Structure 1
Amino acid sequence: MKIQSIHLLNFMEYARVRGVPEHQLIEVIQQPPVNWPDANSQVAAEDFYAVVQLVNEQLKDELLGIRLGEFMQLKALGLVYQISLQATTVEEGFYYLKSYLDASLPIIQISTQADKDKAIIELWIDTSYLNENRLILENVLTIMARELRMMAGEQIAITLTSPFYHQAYPDGWQKGNRFSLTFTNTLFKAALQDTSRWKLEILVPAYLKMIEGLKTDQSFASQVKITMLQMAQPELPDLEKVASTLYMTARTLQRRLENEATTFRQISASLKKEISYLLISHKQYSVADISLVLGFSEPASFIHSFTKWYGYSPQKYRQQLAL
């Protein structure tokens, strides 16, 4: 059985951010792919499990699948968002989701059902890798939940279940006999009518380009920036969320940044500055849109910050571009 290599690459990138040496991960792969990010590149299921098992053993984190799901947000957009671009009903969306998993992650089996009020997705894996299967399934469910919220807004009601649930799990999880995700159908139907809400076809490539530019820098500050961009939905995450994903306290994260003469606030501001400059060049984004993406309370606050950063207002910059 073959698995798209991008899924393995996601595990490896998160492990690298968490401090697992890349050469250790490469060594357990019997047949490494020639071109990892290529959509047609595949790895054997045995190699996939070998890496997942090593990461699990190295990090010793019970919530590893969930933390990885938080980190993988941008890398996994095909799982829900891209599917929604093709679907006009929830049932059609389920069809595309099953087709996507069959083609890229065939170890996962899926069952779906929907009525006028709610929709349910159940996942399972028929292999003997119990701990690794838990990690993989909780990871995929986390990604689905994050993207559903990104598409439909935080008001959508989502419940996640796991047979391994305990009190340390994040809000929204509960004990269940199977790995499942339940959400309010009516709000998702409304979201399908406006899949361009965040103009992700522009935003995601911009974020991914920024991530690639950061990978050559081995500093902790760079790893925090990568994590923030990966977790964006599309606004950047706060200190507590980033610290949790990196499996440390907020104070520890701040202390490590202080050792490199920076702070989380400074990193967040620098990313917002760079993102604003990228998005202001696209007329599809209004000033209000950019303000919302960057997490400003109102457009006036964004205009003030942009002017402070670049010496002229967003409107003035766009006028210059038009000349």
Structure 2
Amino acid sequence: MKLLALHLHSIMEYARWKGVSFSVMTQLMQHPPHDFFAEAAVVSEEDFYAVLEYVVKNNDDDSLGIHLGKFLNLNALGLIYRISLQAATVEEALHYLQTYLNTTFPIIEIKTAVNETSAVIQLNINNNKSLLNRIILEYALTVMSRELSMMTAEQAQIRLYSPYYQVDYPSPWNHDLSFSLDFTATILKATLQDKSRLQLDILIPEYLKLLESLKAEQSFSNKVKIASLHMARPELPDLEMIADAFHLTPRTLQRRLGDENVTFRQLTDDLKRQISALLIRHDRFSVSDISYVLGYSEPAAFIHCFKKWHGDSPERVRKSFSGGWNK
């Protein structure tokens, strides 16, 4: 059975961020793809499990699948985004996403049940690799929940279930005998949030450029920046979300950053400065759009920060491109 190589790359990218050698993981594969990002690139089921098993052995993380889902590779997020744009309602988008998973992750069996009050999506893998399957299924559910939240502007009350649930699982995870998620059925007919205004077809490549520029440095603060870009939705995650990705309390994460003479706020502001400099070059992004992407509640707050970062207003900087502005 063949799986989309991009799914495995998301796992390998997370493991590399956690300190696992990418080249060693590649050497575990009998038939590694020449290009993980090619849309037709696939890996065998055996290679997928070989790498996943190695990643699990090198990560002391009982919630690995959940953290993988939150750290979803931006290339994969771009594919999901393009698929969901075909739909007008949440119901249609889920149909497209289910078809996408069936095609690209065929080891996962998906069952959907809808009644008057709720919709339930149940996932299963029919083999004897139960501990590794736990990682895959919790990862898949986290991704689906993340996408549902983006589709509905987080209006859907989504609950996730795992037989391995423990009290330290994040909300909204619960215990059940199967891997599943449910939400209010009325959401299915809801019109999708207009994600086209976010222009993710531009935003994701720009985020990827920033990621590539960050990979050479191995400092803790740099790893925090990388995690922030991976976990963007598209606005950057807050301190609590990043701390959870590192299995640290927010206070401990701040202390570790302090050891490198930087704060989380400074890191986030630096990323926002870089992202704003990239996005202001694209006329398709209005100032309000960039403000929203960067997580500001009002454009005025973004404009104030932009002037501080770049020495002029967004409109004036945009107009000055022909004069060779380059900051």
Flag whether TM exceeds 0.5 (same fold): yes
- Note the alpha carbon deviations across 1:200-253, whole angstroms, 9 max, x for none: 222222112211222222222222111100100111011221121122233333
Give me the identity figure in percent.
Answer: 50
- Contact 2:72 2:143 survives alignment (8 Å): yes
- Note the alpha carbon deviations across 1:14-49, whole angstroms, 9 max, x for none: 111112233432332222211122111111111111
> How many angstroms does 1:276 deviate by?
1.1
Secondary structure, aligned partner of 1:109 = strand
Give 2:5's aligned residue: 5
Change (3 A) 1:26 1:73: closer
Secondary structure, aligned partner of 1:10 = helix
Which has the higher mean CA deviation after the structures are superposed, 228-237 or 198-207? 198-207
Give 1:260's aligned residue: 260
Give 1:38's aligned residue: 38
> How many angstroms does 1:270 deviate by?
0.6
Quick one: distance in 2 between partners of 1:193 and 1:155? 10
Amino acid at match of 2:87: A
Secondary structure, aligned partner of 2:312 = coil
- Note the alpha carbon deviations across 1:31-84, whole angstroms, 9 max, x for none: 221112211111111111111111112112111100111111634325753332
> How many angstroms does 1:119 deviate by?
2.4
Give 2:317's aligned residue: 317
Alignment of 1:166-245 (within 5 A): 166-192=166-192, 194-245=194-245
Which has the higher mean CA deviation after the structures are superposed, 76-85 or 294-303? 76-85
- Contact 1:79 1:144 survives alignment (8 Å): no
Alignment of 1:86-235 (within 5 A): 86-115=86-115, 117-192=117-192, 194-235=194-235
Indicate yes or no: 2:50 matched with 1:58. Answer: no
Which has the higher mean CA deviation after the structures are superposed, 98-107 or 8-17? 98-107
Amino acid at match of 2:170: P
- Contact 1:66 1:139 survives alignment (8 Å): yes
Secondary structure, aligned partner of 1:123 = strand
- Note the alpha carbon deviations across 1:93-113, whole angstroms, 9 max, x for none: 343223212221111111113
Which has the higher mean CA deviation after the structures are superposed, 108-117 or 1-10? 108-117
- Note the alpha carbon deviations across 1:118-167, whole angstroms, 9 max, x for none: 32211110111111100000001101111211221122211111111121
Quick one: distance in 1 between partners of 2:193 and 2:247? 37
Which has the higher mean CA deviation after the structures are superposed, 35-44 or 73-82? 73-82
- Contact 1:29 1:50 survives alignment (8 Å): yes
- Contact 2:90 2:187 survives alignment (8 Å): no
Change (3 A) 1:314 1:105: same
Quick one: distance in 1 between partners of 2:315 and 2:94? 42
Change (3 A) 1:302 1:95: closer
Quick one: distance in 1 between partners of 2:81 and 2:287? 24
Quick one: distance in 2 between partners of 1:73 and 1:160? 21
**Which TM-score applies when normalising by structure 2?**
0.91
Quick one: distance in 1 between partners of 2:143 and 2:94? 15
Amino acid at match of 2:130: L
Amino acid at match of 1:231: M
Quick one: distance in 2 between partners of 1:191 and 1:206? 28
**Which TM-score applies when normalising by structure 1?**
0.92
Quick one: distance in 2 between partners of 1:238 and 1:22? 28
- Contact 2:78 2:200 survives alignment (8 Å): no
Gaps of 5+ in 2: none
Change (3 A) 1:2 1:161: same
Change (3 A) 1:19 1:299: same
Quick one: distance in 2 between partners of 1:180 and 1:82? 24
Gaps of 5+ in 1: none
Amino acid at match of 2:282: H
Which has the higher mean CA deviation after the structures are superposed, 2-11 or 285-294? 285-294
Quick one: distance in 1 between partners of 2:178 and 2:149? 22
Secondary structure, aligned partner of 1:297 = coil
